[in-house]
Structure 1
Amino acid sequence: MEQAKELVEDNTKTNGKLPVLEYDVAEWPPIPIALAVAFQHVVLCMGAVVTVTYVVSDVVCISPNDPIRSQIFCSSLFMVGVATITQTWLGVRLPVFQGPSFTFLPPLLAMKSSGTWTCPLHNSEYNITSNTSTDAVIYVDEGTKYTRLNQLQGSLILASLVEVLLGATGAVGILQRIIGPITISVTIFLLGFSLYPVSIQCSVIYWPIAILSTLIVLISGVYLAHVKVKIPGCSRRTDSKHQSPPPAYNIFNIFAIPLCISLAWIVCFILTRIGVFPTDPTEPAYMARTDTRTELIESTPWFLWPYPGQFGAPDFNLGLFIALIPVTLSSAMESIGDYLATGKTCDALPVPVHAMNRGILIEGLMSVLSAFFGTGHATTSYSIGVSIVTLTKVGSRYAVLLSGVIALILAVFVKFGAVMSAMPVPIIGGISMISIGIVMGLAISTLTTVDMTSSRNISVVGISIFIPIICSETLNRYPNMVNTGNAELDRVLELIISFPMILGTIIALLLDNTVKGDKQSRGLLPIINDVTLNHQGTGFESPKRTRHYASRNHLYDIPYVSKLCNRYKSLNCLPFIQNV
């Protein structure tokens, strides 16, 4: 949010023009600068990787000292690297960083809260996704644990194939016409709302540490966001007389998460040493100790190469698959917005049809691969990457590609994953309070292009948010309310009702497309101005074909494919291949 404010201020100073990049999309910056920018991307995604790994592990009831936790963490980080490299080189070919998606967590939490995936009593350790703060832990046998991971794999693979289909057929353009900012805003807002149990159950273990973690991120990332530190700049000039002063960067903002983890972990270590935390594993505060997972770190090998199917063959769960479908569509629409924002920041608008379709296609394929690796989540574009480009003035896709390489290296170093998995749980609670709050803030910011003085839009947004919350809460209070006579259908309906994001997306999509309203008030015109539908309505096409557009459009071409298109004309019919 602070970066967005600075971007607006910079635009005002330059008469509405975006700040000039020191290094363009297709340029290689010097190695030190590329490494610095790449490291920022990896650092900013680390909090999400830790949180997602904890939630997935606890939903399938993996013991805190089970080495599988570090395997899932490293597999997740490995897929961050693979997806980022593939997206920047073969996908949309913009500096778009890929990371684990929070969007896919609410269906998993709904599976547990609905009673479909309960964890029978096995030992007395604490589980962060338990429904109460005093529940003892509740872990399943080895077979059941892998069964749930395999069901999650298979359901995620099939759901991700929907995104693959959108990109491969060029149907993204058609979807863009019916899924507008209102639907996207409602979906993201209810996503954040659905994740609040994670913050509660992580923080209730020991509130002082959770609050401390929140304050560190808040002070560093918000209050000190404008405090800039000068470091060697990105300027090409070597003449000392004309060399511009070194640029200043928001170091506190960029490194808020690592600073929070380091300081809060040190405090937990001190409190563990002086005996503040209990030694009884049945006590919730026991999970705030820094020595509870020493066995996990010691038993984890130093190096391990993640591979598909490492947790078994994929299985299938119908209810989970249905819940993941709207989540997948929402993730695709959010990624389209990230492509447009990145293209605008890099002065590379309009984004051509083939790049847009190919970006969604690659995201779908990487999500399928991520499911095969057993990460329990899909990969998606990170909006924070636009802020990094704006702050550093480095728009090079090769710098982002290098961040993928760094993620791959860290992923193979499994001992690092074990250490991160041993993080005291209250720290995750504090970080999640800020990160989930930002997700809900992003949902509200999506409505900036929508006329919210219109009673029509106010009604659509309010109803789409309130009704799903009411239905979800009603089902929680009256768990046996759904009774159709078919047990499988009951489970599916309970999952949909208990998951506000699904019901909210359906209601918002229906109301926004059936209640009379013009495109401008619905916020559709700004998107259409950046990327418009072609005459067949199957993809995107630029409204202007100037000389500048042609040169910028070349940025999106896949290397060596143009020669193949000249030789095999049928390739030009594919909506994700550049036209020659």
Structure 2
Amino acid sequence: MEKIIDVKEKPTLRRWIPLSLQHVFAMFGATVLVPFLVTLNTPEHTVMLTSTALFTSGLGTLLYILITQGKVPAYLGSSFAFIAPLISISTAYGFPYAMGGAFFVGLIYVGFALIIKFFGLQWLDKILPPVVIGSIIVTIGLNLAPTAMDMAMKGSGDTYNLYYVLVATVTLAIAIIASVVFKGFVTVIPVLIGIIGGYLFALFTGWFFPEHALIDFSAVATAPWFGFPRLVKPEFGFVPIATFALVSLATIAEHLGDTLVTSKVVGKDFYKNPGLHRTLAGDGLATSLAALFGGPPNTTYGENVGVMAITRVYSVWVIGGAAVIAIILSLFTKFGALIQTIPVPVMGGISMMLFGIIASSGIRTLVESGIDYGDKRNLIISSVILVIGIGGGKLFFPLTDQLNFNLEGIALAALVGIILNLVLPKTLNHKEEKAAAEAKQEGNTNS
């Protein structure tokens, strides 16, 4: 298909605004869901604001465009891979330490970018082969599954509620229908449509049955009209940094895949021009910048790549326009307060699909990479990663009276997976073993 607007082309203002709004719709649901979930599942309950996530996604996207020399039309939104470490580190150490870990992630990205610039990509395949990457991504999605079910069944409380299940089910059904049944642009924004549909369902049922009301607009009424995201001073600790650093290995691999997909959609080789080192550095510095404002780590969004594939509009000016709109929306404090009124079961319903998609994308990575599980080496690596990551594995021992080493869940699973991949001897894959056995048998028969 012929492109309608190329990367460097600037559309007229009449077309520019609606084209940019499409990208805002595409990224909005997932971007605000991350801070919503982090805040809901941490003791402080004011940890991360949805308006801040919008602000840092827009600001990070503009920084990314600058670093990539305006050659890559990619939107940066909140990364789901870091939900678990954001929650666990905020709970155990405090929110500033979570932001310290997130800030350090950006520096790791930059470090990898410099190594790629000077040494190429071959070394990365040895550390993070598909069997490790895919298994970690599966673990990330399934590790979050209990959170989704608790929100869907219990809301923000501890008691099962059948009405919550109904709201979550309706939300999930609307999102699935939007994704599978509808056509065109609507299929790119099923998360947003599901949230809006679930919200309206909860609002209407709350009017007819006040005892089940889940939405309270009092916070919207009292919120000021305008506000600016607060700066956060990151705190640095060994365990928070190690936790975020290990998870970042999976997101770096995700970045490589997203950049490759974007290249295929646009018809340009972004690995070569502006270079993978620039796209990785842009992603990383955007994440470090987000941490300074208390926002979640960023990642390039597949939803916005989907918009480009459908519309065949690849203009970086359109992506930049979406970033500016996101920043403007984030400054309206009442808008942020309105987002906070979204009922927990609505987010639970949408999370059931989103977290499953994360896990499924890991399975897709394994399948498309042709991982042979007839090879016991691959089977062992995946098995150990999944059990440690999903089962809540923990490595804990005191270093001093004041300092403990504590590594658990996804971070520990990633570390163990990388070590196993490096130390386990290479073996023939299942097909080669079978061919060798058949050749040996044939030789014995002939003799």
The TM-score bracket by the shorter chain reads 0.7 to 0.9
1:272 to 206, 215, 226: 206
Query: Matched residues, percent identical?
Result: 23
Corresponding residue for 1:504?
413
User: What amino acid is the match of 1:151?
Assistant: Y
Q: Distance in 1 between matches of 2:31 and 2:325?
A: 15
Q: Is the alpha carbon distance of 1:460 and 1:417 closer, same or farther for their aligned partners in structure 2, counting shifts above 3 Å?
A: farther
Is residue 316 from structure 1 mapped to residue 236 from structure 2 by the alignment?
A: yes
User: What amino acid is the match of 1:406?
Assistant: I
Give runs of aligned pairs for residues 167-566 of structure 1, distance below 5 A: 167-169=113-115, 170=117, 173=121, 175-178=123-126, 179-205=128-154, 206-224=164-182, 227=183, 250-275=184-209, 277-278=211-212, 289-291=214-216, 294-309=217-232, 313-349=233-269, 351-352=271-272, 355-375=275-295, 377-453=296-372, 455-456=374-375, 459-471=376-388, 484=397, 486=399, 492-493=405-406, 495-496=407-408, 499=409, 501-513=410-422, 514-516=424-426
User: What amino acid is the match of 2:253?
Assistant: M
Corresponding residue for 1:7?
none
Aligned residues: 416
Q: Is the 8 A contact 1:35 1:402 kept in 2?
A: yes
* Offset, 1:172: 6.5
* Offset, 1:487: 7.3
* Offset, 1:275: 2.9
Q: Distance in 2 between matches of 1:149 and 1:219?
A: 37
* Offset, 1:186: 1.3
User: What amino acid is the match of 1:187?
Assistant: I
1:432-465 per-residue CA deviation (whole Å, 9 max, x = no partner) reads 1111121122212223442244622xx4454334
Q: Distance in 1 between matches of 2:383 and 2:199?
A: 38
Q: Is the alpha carbon distance of 1:211 and 1:464 closer, same or farther for their aligned partners in structure 2, counting shifts above 3 Å?
A: farther
Q: Distance in 1 between matches of 2:326 and 2:211?
A: 34
Q: Which has the higher helix share?
A: 2
Q: Distance in 1 between matches of 2:140 and 2:392?
A: 18
1:43-65 per-residue CA deviation (whole Å, 9 max, x = no partner) reads 122222232112221344234xx
Q: Is the alpha carbon distance of 1:455 and 1:79 closer, same or farther for their aligned partners in structure 2, counting shifts above 3 Å?
A: same
Q: Is the alpha carbon distance of 1:335 and 1:298 closer, same or farther for their aligned partners in structure 2, counting shifts above 3 Å?
A: same
Q: Is the 8 A contact 2:188 2:306 kept in 1?
A: no
Give runs of aligned pairs for residues 134-149 of structure 1, distance below 5 A: 148-149=94-95
Q: Distance in 2 between matches of 1:473 and 1:448?
A: 20
* Offset, 1:486: 4.8
Q: Distance in 1 between matches of 2:239 and 2:8?
A: 44
Q: Is the 8 A contact 2:106 2:288 kept in 1?
A: yes
* Offset, 1:263: 2.4
1:83 to 38, 41, 60: 60
- Runs of at least 4 residues of structure 1 off by over 6 A? 487-490
* Offset, 1:385: 2.6
1:213-242 per-residue CA deviation (whole Å, 9 max, x = no partner) reads 000000111122xx3xxxxxxxxxxxxxxx
Is residue 43 from structure 1 mapped to residue 28 from structure 2 by the alignment?
A: no
Q: Is the alpha carbon distance of 1:30 and 1:446 closer, same or farther for their aligned partners in structure 2, counting shifts above 3 Å?
A: farther
Corresponding residue for 2:40?
58
Give unmatched runs, 5+ long, in structure 1. 1-18, 118-146, 228-249, 279-287, 522-580
Q: Is the 8 A contact 1:96 1:400 kept in 2?
A: yes
* Offset, 1:108: 3.2
* Offset, 1:189: 1.0
What do you get for the CA RMSD once the two structures are aligned?
2.9
Q: Distance in 2 between matches of 1:155 and 1:188?
A: 19
Query: SS at the partner of 2:94?
Result: helix
Is residue 156 from structure 1 mapped to residue 90 from structure 2 by the alignment?
A: no
Q: TM-score, normalised by structure 2?
A: 0.84
Is residue 108 from structure 1 mapped to residue 66 from structure 2 by the alignment?
A: no
Q: Distance in 2 between matches of 1:350 and 1:200?
A: 39
Q: Is the 8 A contact 2:105 2:287 kept in 1?
A: no
Q: Distance in 2 between matches of 1:254 and 1:448?
A: 24
Q: Is the alpha carbon distance of 1:303 and 1:450 closer, same or farther for their aligned partners in structure 2, counting shifts above 3 Å?
A: same
